[in-house]
Amino acid sequence: MRRRVGIVLLVIVVALAAFNYLRPIPAVAAMHLLHSTEVVPGTAPTMPWPSRGSAAVAVSGLGFVGTSGNEQAIPAASVTKVMTALVVLEDSKLKKGEDGPIITINDADVRSYESDLAEQQSVVKVQTGEQLTLFQVLEGMLIPSANNLAETVARWDAGSTDAFVVKMNKRAADLHLTHTKFADTSGASPASVSTPSDLTTLGMAAMQNEVFAQIVARGQVTLPVAGTVYNVNGLLGQGGIIGIKTGSGLNTGANFLFAANATIDGTTIVLYGCVMGQPTLQIAFATAQALLAVMTSALHVRRVIARNQSVANYTTPWGDQSDLVSAVDVDLAEWPGMIVRQHLDAKAIVVEHPIAPRTPEGTEHVVLGDYSLDVPLVTADQLYPPGRLWRLTRVSF
């Protein structure tokens, strides 16, 4: 009887051990090692906003870092041509190094020139039969700010200026320029209105186009009939200014949409901004320079996450462990007082087979301003599945 009981108990023990051994290996969750939020050190500077009009400034990648807070939609003047150029470049798919199709100046183009000239608008001389490449037309429109060529390129693109203006407003809506409305292609109409924030957003989008950036960085260009014409951006090449467009001549004052390269902690960063409603274009230039100087001194580039830095950790119930480390360096431009947010996105793993070092196992999502990055994470060490003894003797899991 006792022997039979012993056999039964042995069978039970063996069955439990077998059951224990064959139970699924538990999934192991990653433990986040970094803070979920971090305030960028320092105090945001007092910006030298203009006493008249309004302004906004932004940093490439980071986004807006300040506005004067009193923005109202006013005539954009010739800054309107930035949208005209962007729509044409996107429609034509003109690439850097290409001249594009030939545009032959016709009677309608000459009438536009003569009419605009009579109204003392900014123009570039053209004549019937003159042949310009698309690239040259855009140069004439953006560099000396020829209103007549804005009309010429709009008719070439859409068949009429009215049809082209519809495209301009559609693109503005796509860019969420909620305070912008275009009524013409050149900005001669006071009904083409915008704000510094909207125009800065437009400028950042336009400067991503290599052809646009190439044109607005040119100080002068020679055209077949007009000869040599000069950029109305008087700050071009000064203080890192690389573009993009002035707008003046209407009774609401002068506007300046600008982009500048700045060296921040050894890294070149593009700074953007727009001032509107200034008494003169020279005052608009001076205001832009003052804003850029303060931005340059306040910005820093910091390594938020370093390559091979531990971001999370896997620790198994059987005592094995490995950190999850960043596969790359993450350097971000920072503005004092902004908040860096981080979130771990790594699934729980089941270690049924050895997991080698440098195996991708998730990402660290980093957000700062407009930065939104998924930083790849890899295992630092080998992870091994549990041994037989642990699987036989585990109590829970």
Phi and psi, residue 18, nearest 5°: -65, -45
Alpha carbon of residue 35 to chain centroid? 25
Is 145 considered catalytic here? yes
Give the tokens for residue 358.
């440098």
Q: Which of 68, 92, 145, 322 is catalytic?
A: 145
Pick the catalytic residue: 68, 81, 194, 245? 81
3-state DSSP percent of the chain in helix, strand and coil, to 5: 30, 30, 40
- For 180, how many CA atoms within 13 A lie in the half-sphere containing its CB? 30
Spatial separation of the C-alpha atoms in residues 161 and 219, rounded to whole Å: 28
Other CB atoms within 10 A of residue 339 CB: 11
**What CA–CA distance (Å, rounded) separates 190 from 287?**
23
Question: What are 92's two structure tokens?
Answer: 């034509």
Q: Is 78 a catalytic residue?
A: yes
Catalytic residue among 60, 68, 78, 192: 78
For residue 130 the two structure tokens come to: 């003159």
- For residue 208, with 0-12 CB atoms within 10 Å meaning exposed, 13-18 middle and 19 or more buried, which class applies? exposed
Q: Which residue, 211, 190, 191, is CA-closest to 82?
A: 211
State the burial class of residue 219 (Cβ atoms within 10 Å of its Cβ: 0-12, 13-18, 19+).
Answer: exposed
Which residue shows structure tokens 């044409």? 88
Distance CA 325, CA 376 (A): 8
One DSSP character per residue, 289-307 reads HHHHHHHHHH-EEEEEE-T
Which residues on adjacent β-strands are paired with residue 116? none
- Locate tokens 């040119």: which residue? 218
Residues contacting residue 261 through CB under 8 Å, at least 6 positions apart: 240, 242, 268, 269, 270, 271
Residues annotated catalytic, as ranges? 78, 81, 145
